[in-house]
Amino acid sequence: MAGISEVLSSVVEDVGKALNRDMSGAQVIQQLLSAPWLHALLKIYECLLQFQRLKPSPFLPFASGLSYEIFNAIQNTHCPSPEAMELLSLLSSPHIQALLSSHDSVAQSDYGPILPPLPEDLPEDEEAMRIVCLVKNNQPLGATIKKIEGTGEIYIARVIHGGLAERSGLLHPGDLLVEVNGNSVEGLEPEQVIQILINSQGTILFKVIPNVYMRAMVDYCPLQDSSIPCPDAGTAFCRGDLLEVLDQSDSYWWQARKLPCEESTCAGLIPSAGSLRRCKQREHWWHQPLQGHTCIRPCKLSPSSAIIVIKTINPCLILSSAGFRRSFRLWRRTSYRKRRQSCTTCSPNRNALSTPYEEVVLYQRLPQDIHRLIILIGATGVGVNELRKRFIKMNPVIFQAPVPHTTRPIRAGEQSGREYHFVSKEIFEYMVCNHRFVEYGEYKGQLYGTSTDAIDDILKQGRMCIVDVEPHSIQSLRTKKLKPYVVFIKPPSPERLRQTRRDAQITSSYTLNRTFTEEDFVELEHMSKLIEVKYKQFFDRVLVNDDLQAACMQLCSIIQQAQNQPQWVPVSWKSDTEKKKKKR
Ligand SMILES: Nc1ncnc2c1ncn2[C@@H]1O[C@H](COP(=O)(O)OP(=O)(O)OP(=O)(O)O)[C@@H](O)[C@H]1O
């Protein structure tokens, strides 16, 4: 701490001196950037970041025991030194004793409640039940219940923010209450359930049937479905919609509400996952996205083209240092028509056929967890690269883009691992065979690619990784480890698009920049619609890139929310410990 205040006072001193001198702005900035105190501050900042990630462990669990031993030793000393006497008076002060006692409680983790063991005789068919054990303290439970007239079932109606129930993360609105402390709530009035809660001592054991939330991976329109018992009772939904499934007892028709909705909104009929899977003939009313262009064959462009793509999962990158590089999306423009044709011949996505709904849960990233991978998706020219660059520039220590791999020779001034990971063709191909690349491609006879390891490296250092990839790469990145958050960058209205990009430059080859043509705008809008139609079930947020500065600020806030606020994620992304906790 003394070190930091020393550095800070020399900062103030240096800045004061600079102010008093007659210097140009560039000189001030140059001096500022090369000032030793700035480098010292950055070092301290990095150390603090490292420290934040390291979990401090106690040096010894019984500090108060040791202090007692020292206390005794000094007291038994014949003629203690003045330092020993000072230590004695320090150790006997009530504040230090209280501090040491608190230290020991933390060191021994002597603060968590001791939960009773799980009941031994859990029936097999209680798979979908959740047993929640809360320790009663003098705080209110923070949840309300309601009885459904007609069925007599008792549900959790509200979970109060910050209350015991909310903090446990185990009780949610809509959960059906089955038992409280071993007492079945069947036929009980809410007042009787509350009485059981009031009379409980120590721990409260709830048995609940959790509500199920699903993301639609297909579109459904009841009015076009001849098999629905009553089209008016059906709920229409589109890919990406969030559904609260309230009743799955019928194997053909479930009852669900589309979120967000009012608490009082009536549920509607939706086809069960099984019936959607079974009835392939229903493809006329439910559609799934087409598969991405996972062409494995070499795809040669015209000889005049600046870029030759071989295995086109996706070629990437070029230029300057990582994070500020231009994406290799130029290829997208040149081969756009070719790819559009190939995509119409692709077969439906197997995944969507097998999972018309994806079960989701709310996930809140904990401070010690790695950051979620941020994926930016958008049609070429919409501004994905510009937004990513600006975002990284805000704090390049924290926000980073993965360092790509290349087989091209290293140039003067470059450093392996900074601009690129320079590797041999054999190593690159070995990595391809081992599926180490998210995207890769060829440019002027050299291979370039973004590896999953490069993404992992950033995340492992506690930093935030931001990538822009082709939309079909989303599926390979959707893993429990990366928990990607996908932001779709959308163009503004046709008028605003042309107005805002009047002076903007696009790169039509790596040596030539030019302004947007009408054809570019039309292609951008068309491609954007195509991406949205095919991939919207994977989008967590849509950001309209109208005013650049405003879009950048919005992206910043979206990313903060993605990292720090609860978000819906596939249930399979929840950690096993969380799942176990849920089952308790
Ligand atoms: N909101 C905006 N207002 C004005 N100009 C913009 C805006 N967003 C991006 N631009 C400009 O549009 C041009 C294309 O943007 P950018 O290079 O980021 O596109 P991209 O989506 O990454 O496409 P590519 O695949 O070609 O790299 C750039 O000159 C950029 O500065």
Tens digit of pLDDT for each residue in 451-480?
Answer: 999 999 999 999 999 999 989 889 889 999
Query: How confident is residue 341, by pLDDT bands cut at 50, 70 and 90?
Result: very low
C-alpha 506 to ligand 1 mean position (Å): 7
Q: Is 509 in the pocket of ligand 1 (CB under 6 A)?
A: no
Q: Which of 511, 551, 528, 538 is nearest to 381 (CA)?
A: 528
Query: How confident is residue 105, by pLDDT bands cut at 50, 70 and 90?
Result: confident
Tens digit of pLDDT for each residue in 547-561?
Answer: 999 999 999 999 999
Q: Which of 530, 535, 504, 527 is nearest to 517 (CA)?
A: 504
Q: Which of 280-289, 331-340, 526-535 has the lowest mean pLDDT?
A: 331-340
Q: Specify which of 144-148, 225-229, 334-338, 374-378 reaches the highest per-range mean pLDDT.
A: 374-378
Q: Which atom of ligand 1 is nearest to the CA of 489?
A: 21
Q: Quick check: 286 pLDDT over 50?
A: no
Tell me the HSE value of 259 on the side-chain side, using a 13 A CA sphere: 13
- Written as six digits, the tokens of 65 are 């025991």
Q: What pLDDT is recorded for position 387? A: 95
Q: Name every residue whose Cβ is closer than 8 Å to that of residue 461 and which is 6 or more positions away in sequence.
A: none
Query: How confident is residue 260, by pLDDT bands cut at 50, 70 and 90?
Result: confident
Tens digit of pLDDT for each residue in 180-236?
Answer: 988 899 889 999 998 888 888 788 888 888 778 999 998 899 998 888 889 999 999
* pTM, rounded to two decimals: 0.63
Q: Name every residue whose Cβ is closer than 8 Å to that of residue 491 and which is 6 or more positions away in sequence.
A: 379, 382, 497, 524, 525, 528, 544, 545
Query: How confident is residue 110, by pLDDT bands cut at 50, 70 and 90?
Result: low
Query: How confident is residue 111, by pLDDT bands cut at 50, 70 and 90?
Result: low
- Taking residues 434-438, report their average pLDDT: 91
Tens digit of pLDDT for each residue in 477-526?
Answer: 999 999 999 999 999 999 999 999 998 988 766 556 789 999 999 999 99
**Mutate which of 375, 376, 385 to test ligand 1's pocket (most atoms within 8 Å of Cβ)?**
385
- Written as six digits, the tokens of 251 are 């194997």
Q: What pLDDT is recorded for position 112? A: 59
Q: Is 544 in the pocket of ligand 1 (CB under 6 A)?
A: no
**Mutate which of 328, 386, 520, 525 to test ligand 1's pocket (most atoms within 8 Å of Cβ)?**
386
Q: Is 378 in the pocket of ligand 1 (CB under 6 A)?
A: yes
Tens digit of pLDDT for each residue in 42-64?
Answer: 888 888 888 777 766 777 778 88
Q: What pLDDT is recorded for position 508? A: 64
Q: Is 469 in the pocket of ligand 1 (CB under 6 A)?
A: no
Q: Quick check: 281 pLDDT over 50?
A: no
How much of the chain exceeds pLDDT 90, in percent? Answer: 33
Measure Cα distances from 458 to 39, 398, 452, 546, 569 in Å: 21, 9, 10, 30, 22
- Written as six digits, the tokens of 8 are 């800070």
C-alpha span between 534 and 340 (Å, rounded): 12
Question: Which is higher by pLDDT, 281 or 224?
Answer: 224
Q: Is 524 in the pocket of ligand 1 (CB under 6 A)?
A: no
Q: Is 315 in the pocket of ligand 1 (CB under 6 A)?
A: no
C-alpha 63 to ligand 1 mean position (Å): 60
C-alpha 470 to ligand 1 mean position (Å): 16
Phi, psi angle pair for 185, to nearest 5°: -95, 5
C-alpha 57 to ligand 1 mean position (Å): 48
- Written as six digits, the tokens of 362 are 């709310």
C-alpha 383 to ligand 1 mean position (Å): 3
Q: Are 373 and 454 in contact (CB under 8 A)?
A: no
C-alpha 554 to ligand 1 mean position (Å): 16
- Taking residues 78-96, report their average pLDDT: 89
Question: Which is higher by pLDDT, 426 or 275?
Answer: 426
C-alpha 375 to ligand 1 mean position (Å): 17
Q: Quick check: 73 pLDDT over 80?
A: yes
Q: Is 380 in the pocket of ligand 1 (CB under 6 A)?
A: yes
Q: Which of 183-197, 337-351, 424-438, 513-527 has the lowest mean pLDDT?
A: 337-351
Query: How confident is residue 261, by pLDDT bands cut at 50, 70 and 90?
Result: confident
Q: Is 548 in the pocket of ligand 1 (CB under 6 A)?
A: yes
C-alpha 511 to ligand 1 mean position (Å): 17
Burial 278-292 (b: 16+ CB within 10 A, else e): eeeebeebbbbbbbb
Q: What pLDDT is recorded for position 62? A: 80
Q: Is 455 in the pocket of ligand 1 (CB under 6 A)?
A: no
C-alpha 442 to ligand 1 mean position (Å): 23
Q: What pLDDT is recorded for position 310? A: 28
Strands 421-422 and 405-406: parallel
Q: Is 545 in the pocket of ligand 1 (CB under 6 A)?
A: yes
Strand partners, 568: 362
Q: Quick check: 5 pLDDT over 80?
A: no
**What residue spans of 409-467 are helical by DSSP H?**
425-433, 452-460
Question: Mean pLDDT of all residues in the chain?
Answer: 79
Q: Please name the residue whose Cα sits nearest to atom 11 of ligand 1.
A: 504
Q: What pLDDT is recorded for position 121? A: 60
Q: What pLDDT is recorded for position 319? A: 30
Tens digit of pLDDT for each residue in 115-133?
Answer: 566 566 655 444 467 788 8
C-alpha 385 to ligand 1 mean position (Å): 6
Report whether the peptide linkage leading into residue 367 is cis, meaning its omega lies within 30 degrees of zero: no
C-alpha span between 315 and 510 (Å, rounded): 14
**What residue spans of 108-236 are helical by DSSP H?**
164-168, 190-199
